[in-house]
Structure 1
Amino acid sequence: MPAFWTISPKASGTPPGAFAVAQSDGAEYLLVLSPHLSMGAEGFVAIIGLCAGLLALPLIGVLGTPVLWGLIPFAGLALWGLWYALQRNGRERLSLREELRLTRDMIAITRTNPRKPEQHWQANPYWVRLSLLEKGGPVENYLTLDGGGRAVELGAFLSPEERVALHDELSRALRHLR
Structure 2
Amino acid sequence: MLSVKGSVSSTENLLFNAVLRPNRNLSKKGFKVLMGFIFSIIFICSLGFFLAGAWPVLGFLGLDVALVYFAFRFSYRSGGQYELVQMTEDEMLVTTVNPWGQKRSFSFQPYWLQISLKEQDDENSLILSSHGRSISLGRFLAPIERKELADKLVSVLNRLKQNQV
Q: What TM-score, normalized to structure 1?
A: 0.76
Which residue does the alignment assign to 1:14? none
How many Å separate the matches in 2 of 1:151 and 1:77?
44
Q: Which moved more, 1:164-173 or 1:112-121?
A: 112-121
Contact 2:81–2:101 (CA<8 Å) still a contact in 1? no
Q: Secondary structure at the match of 1:142?
A: strand
- Which SS does the other structure have where 1:164 is aligned? helix
Trace 1:1-178 onto structure 2 (pairs within 5 A): 1-10=1-10, 26-56=13-43, 58-59=45-46, 61-68=48-55, 70-93=56-79, 95-115=80-100, 117-135=102-120, 140-178=123-161
- Aligned AA for 1:134? E
Equivalenced residues, count? 161
| Alpha-carbon separation, structure 2, partners of 1:27 and 1:110 | 15
Residues 32-84 of structure 1: CA distance to partner in whole angstroms, max 9, x if unpaired?
Answer: 1111112223542453244335534653543435532x332332232122112
Identity %: 27
Q: CA deviation at 1:133?
A: 1.3
Residue 114 of structure 1, CA deviation: 1.4
Does the CA-based 8 Å contact 1:2-1:33 persist in structure 2?
yes
Looking at structure 2, the residues matched to 174 and 127 of structure 1 have their Cα atoms a distance apart, in angstroms, of 10
C-alpha displacement of 1:116:
6.6
AA paired with 1:3?
S
Shift of 1:120: 2.0
Q: Give the SS at the match of 2:49.
A: coil
2: distance between equivalents of 1:59 and 1:5? 50
Q: CA RMSD in A?
A: 2.6
